[in-house]
């Protein structure tokens, strides 16, 4: 059990370090409001270090929070900071621009969040998580082209013309349609996306001599339905993180966040509301020194989406918690208004 003073010291130490990035010593804590002698504070710091909530650095006599310390702070001590009126005004002003598609609003939300925080931001639209593939048709145009029509349960229809590889016959296309109807129709688009990278290639090997060309056509047909659904802004901000120490590491992380399949699995929260994962809780070895804040938002009648921030473990959790909360509220409201205006224009 920690004493009230030790809790206050840990809270203040995290606050100071996340704001300044400078290791914190007993004199700083005393000057910042801990009512105890420097010697008493040092004893409390030793106790916190013994519990592995803080740690010494090699270059300073001060202490910094450990991963365990950040987790304790987030779970027991953090109080979300109220978002400034300036930030709220900026969010609303940017979201109030003239948009012509929901994807434009979702993309804008990632950029706004990245610009406000200088971290890497992600935005996942509500359709991705909730839409299900309910219908699929292929209409041959000629020997070289076909139209693929994808229908989802929320009335979304995607049609596109594709060129047919020379090695693919009309019988191959019939088999494709059967496989899609048997294994993909009725599934969520996220599940379809996942199966295209895991189960479907194995299935195609059983039915086709040259499965590579068929898989290519599969991906071409469905890519349009998935394109531009996970938006990333501020990827280069990873270079500003002291936790990313070399170019090879940066390239690996940048490659990870560019992989929609892996990224979607990381971003989807385990629970409702705001979720903060620190270090190995993200369950990816490349992100052991990072923290991820994710928040689900809901648009009435259109499902749930996700916004997220990836940054160093010494991010200001209290400030970002408040900012992400505000962002989910504003984004949900703007998307709801957009859908309503869209429905009104269709019904007129």
Whole-number average pLDDT of the chain: 85
Separation in Å, CA 320 to CA 279, 305, 306: 17, 18, 15
pTM for the model stands at 0.72
- At 289 the three-state DSSP class reads coil
Q: What is the mean pLDDT of residues 103-114?
A: 91
Write out pLDDT tens, residues 244-277: 667 777 778 878 877 777 777 788 776 678 999 9
Contact 267, 308 (CB under 8 A): yes
- At 306 the three-state DSSP class reads strand
Write out pLDDT tens, residues 169-203: 888 888 888 888 899 898 887 788 778 878 888 88
- At 210 the three-state DSSP class reads coil
Write out pLDDT tens, residues 149-160: 877 775 555 667
Write out pLDDT tens, residues 276-319: 999 999 988 888 889 999 998 888 877 788 999 999 999 999 99
Q: How far apart are CA 19 and CA 17, in angstroms?
A: 5
Spatial CA neighbour of 5 closest among 51, 52, 37, 50: 37
Q: How far apart are CA 296 and CA 331, in angstroms?
A: 11
Helix (H) or strand (E) holding 72, with range, is helix 67-72
Write out pLDDT tens, residues 49-68: 999 999 998 766 789 999 99
Whether the pLDDT of residue 343 is over 70: the answer is no
Residue 65's DSSP bridge partners are 54
């Amino acid at each position: 059990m920690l004493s009230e003073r030790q809790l206050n010291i840990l809270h203040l130490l995290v606050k100071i370090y996340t704001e300044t990035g400078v290791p914190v010593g007993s004199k700083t804590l005393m000057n910042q409001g801990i009512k105890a002698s420097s010697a008493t504070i040092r004893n409390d710091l030793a106790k916190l270090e013994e519990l592995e909530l803080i740690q010494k650095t090699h270059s300073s006599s001060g202490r910094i929070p450990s991963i365990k310390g950040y987790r304790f702070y987030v779970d027991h001590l953090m109080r979300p900071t109220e978002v400034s009126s300036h930030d709220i005004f900026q969010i609303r002003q940017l979201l109030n621009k003239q948009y012509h598609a929901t994807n434009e609003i979702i993309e804008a939300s990632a950029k706004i969040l990245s610009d406000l925080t200088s971290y890497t931001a992600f935005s996942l639209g509500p359709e991705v998580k909730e839409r299900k593939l309910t219908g699929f048709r292929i209409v041959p145009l000629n020997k070289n082209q076909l139209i693929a029509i994808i229908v989802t349960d929320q009335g979304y229809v995607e049609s596109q013309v594709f060129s047919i590889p020379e090695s693919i016959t009309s019988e191959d296309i019939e088999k494709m349609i059967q496989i899609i109807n048997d294994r993909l129709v009725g599934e969520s688009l996220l599940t379809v996306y996942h199966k295209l990278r895991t189960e479907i290639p194995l299935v195609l090997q059983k039915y086709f001599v040259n499965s590579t060309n068929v898989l290519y056509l599969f991906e071409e047909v469905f890519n349009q339905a998935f394109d531009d659904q996970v938006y990333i802004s501020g990827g280069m901000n990873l270079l500003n993180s002291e936790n990313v120490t070399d170019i090879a590491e940066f390239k690996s992380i940048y490659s990870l966040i560019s992989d929609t399949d892996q990224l979607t699995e990381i971003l989807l929260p385990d629970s409702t509301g705001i979720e903060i994962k620190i270090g190995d809780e993200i369950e990816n070895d490349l992100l052991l020194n990072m923290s991820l804040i994710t928040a689900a938002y809901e648009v009435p009648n259109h499902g749930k989406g996700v916004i997220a921030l990836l940054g160093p473990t010494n991010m200001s959790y209290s400030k970002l918690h408040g900012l992400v909360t505000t962002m989910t509220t504003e984004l949900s409201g703007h998307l709801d208004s957009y859908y309503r205006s869209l429905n009104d224009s269709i019904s007129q």
